[in-house]
A and B are shown apart, each in its own frame.
Chain A
Amino acid sequence: MPQTEALIENPIARFSEEEIEQIGREFDAIHDEVFADLGDKDATYIRTMIALHRQLALLSRAILLGSRYKPAWLLGTSVLGIAKILENMEIGHNVLHGQWDWMQDPRINSATWDWDTASPSDAWKHSHNYVHHTFTNIRGKDKDLGYEIMRIDPHQKWHPVYLLQPLYNLILAGFFEWGVAVHDLDVEAVREGTKDMDELRRQLRGIGHKAWRQVAKDYIAFPALSGPRGFKATLAANFTANIIRNVWSYAIIFCGHFPDQTYTFSEEETENETRGGFYLRQLLGAANIDGSPIFHVLSGNLSYQVEHHLYPDMPSSRYGQIAPKVKDICERYGLPYNTGPFSKQFGSVQRTILRLAFPGGKPAAKPGPYVPPADEEIIRPLIAV
């Protein structure tokens, strides 16, 4: 990704080294407090979530046996879509992050887990856990910044191919899992010829295997179970559920780093970065989505993207709990806490994609320091917990 000069100064620059260290210690303290407290409650949470996914999956597959009747089709497809969303977001993504490795349960472990998506878990863990989470929002190093196919940051040099980005943005939304799988191959390295060919062949075989298993399950085995008269309807239902899951995860994930509020960084800005600097970059480079507890679970708690990026290996169920402490640090140090309702976050991402398809563009105005909302502005969530 060709880079240009920084168009906006990021707030890290105004802190002294000592202040950054102090902020780092405060963020470390939140981490340590949670990890010292992990126990049965947390284990029960993830086991319940996993059981819930399996029950929903069974239920939806049972309903879809009668998929040739319209109401059964609609209900079964919706339930299957939700099951697939849970499996990908709150369970798969987070287990593969190693958030539950502390339990020492070999069956809920990042080393053994596989998920119902096109990405083989090994390749994804490298491109996501290592590359994206380490180099978050560093232009030229974080390959998730526009996924090497989109211009999502005005610093990226324009190219005529980006005129098509509003179109392939839509296709990506529907087939997001395939986009991620191909992205994990490191398309740029393949194009430049720096990718190891044996490695590429191995990864392609991995994707091929996953593709075959998904086809075998969703487009052969379960449709066949619905009988000759239900085959097509079940196939369509499963396809739709996969699209629902893809669009949802696309929407949540694009809201993670691309809303107007977030900063990107040049490699020079992040040279000799300390632990405190790392936390600050994660805080400024990610954005949350406000929502109800159910929304947070369905988003895999990636609606707490800020907390997730500060602590990628922390059990996701704890993000909501530490959010007030993160906000408190933001308030005391005059830092922004990026968040907003889904419509606002998603809207600003889509606007950026449209605008940056064309040459030029400036970084959006950034929010100032976090200010706690006044009491009368606090909206009660749909379901209190």
Chain B
Amino acid sequence: MTSTFSMSDDAVREIDTVIQRYPDKQAAMLPVLWIVQGEKGWLSPEAMVWVGDRLGCSAAAVQAVVRFYTMFDEAPVGRWKLQVCRTLSCELMGARAVIDRIRDKLGIEPGETTPDGEFTLQEVECLASCGTGPMLQCNLKFYEHLTPDRIDALLDELRGRTPDPHDVRPVIFERPDPGTYLAMFPRSGRVEAESL
């Protein structure tokens, strides 16, 4: 079976350099998958066959890896991939309100992409920004100390520009005041000890 899948010359050169860094070819699996996903946007079955050929392993071995790690996509995603942290520290600071606002604004559920291909929404696990939660990762960039209002502004801003893969410097907003924070907890009132 012949495949029409190909990568740019630059990417192939980069992949060859990366492979040489490791004592074993297959060790370059994750970096090579990153390079391919970086160029194609996602990892198709053809891409996995191609990577397997490069690394001397089966396409099945490649697919097993792709499915194991959450940052690899087996289907096309939106221009902006919004991965909102849902783990405890962020939830304690209002992550649910942030996720709900994105859901409402975009009309999609976590795991879905908007019909115009602009946004994908995902809930993800702890991203090591616990002191500045709630937060999200937008493509490779972190946005921290989010509030529902800041989500509105962020989504508007993203719509108007093109992703820059080299821009990874986090945007850390000012910490919301306690009032804003408490307002993010509409569903769980204070748990009164005596009512239990």
Q: Do A and B bind each other?
A: no
**Which residues of chain B have a CB within 8 Å of any CB of chain A?**
none
